[in-house]
């Protein structure tokens, strides 16, 4: 399972769960510089996320976030939000990430950023600190969120010798169909210690 390094950093015990699955996790590889980590699940989840073959995410493209935001405050099941790719670069012109508008909260980090066919185009990593920006500018930014580009995530998996699956992105599907599919591969990660 791929996630963000900051999600599991310093944890001595990692578990993951979804409405259909619960497992213990261990960190196999970590890349703090690019904020990525690879975890091994015991037992493994039943679903597999597929990366998108072909072009990277495009400006204006519809994207979907599936995750477990706010540590269960919103409920124990996965939450789904939709938006668009709003920039192909991250903060400070960081080319490793992209910006998107699908509402994102603490707890979405490490989850997939999916295209309109359900293929992975990024790994959700952060959001703009609206309070800090308001203090600096007087403006409250809305839905300014960031994801590590899928190409970087795939490069990380290639570098550590881990196979992954991909597919050509087809026709757009309903977000509800994508969410139903994602329930089998998006797990809530819980860390202790």
3-state secondary structure of 159: helix
CATH topology assigned to domain 48-184: Thrombin, subunit H (2.40.10)
pLDDT score recorded for residue 45: 84
Q: What is the mean pLDDT of residues 153-161?
A: 97
Question: Does residue 5 surpass a pLDDT of 90?
Answer: yes
**Do 123 and 73 form a contact (C-beta atoms < 8 A)?**
no
Handedness of CA 104, 152, 45, 192 (dihedral sign): negative
Q: Give the C-alpha separation, 3 to 49, whole Å.
A: 12
Give catalytic residues, as residue numbers.
Answer: 6, 35, 109
pLDDT score recorded for residue 171: 85
Question: What is the average pLDDT value for the chain, to the nearest integer?
Answer: 94
Question: Sorting pLDDT into bands at 50, 70 and 90, what band is 86?
Answer: very high
Domain ranges of the chain: 48-184
Q: What is the mean pLDDT of residues 36-46?
A: 91
């Amino acid at each position: 399972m791929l996630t963000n390094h900051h999600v599991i950093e310093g944890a001595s015990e990692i578990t993951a769960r979804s409405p259909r699955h619960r497992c213990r996790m261990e960190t196999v590889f970590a890349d703090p510089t690019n904020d990525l980590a690879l975890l091994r699940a015991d037992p493994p989840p039943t679903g597999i996320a597929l990366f998108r073959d072909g072009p990277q995410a495009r400006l204006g493209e519809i994207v979907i976030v599936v995750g477990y935001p706010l540590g269960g405050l919103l409920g124990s099941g996965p939450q789904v939000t939709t938006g668009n790719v709003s920039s192909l670069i991250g903060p400070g012109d960081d080319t490793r990430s992209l910006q998107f508008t699908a509402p994102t909260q603490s707890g979405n980090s490490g989850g997939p950023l999916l295209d309109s066919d359900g293929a992975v185009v990024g790994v959700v990593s952060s959001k703009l600190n609206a309070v800090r920006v308001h203090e600096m500018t007087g403006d409250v930014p809305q839905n300014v969120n960031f994801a590590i580009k899928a190409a970087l995530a795939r490069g990380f998996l290639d570098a550590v010798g881990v196979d992954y699956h991909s597919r050509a992105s087809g026709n757009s599907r309903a977000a509800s169909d994508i969410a139903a599919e994602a329930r089998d591969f998006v797990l809530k990660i819980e860390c202790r210690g």
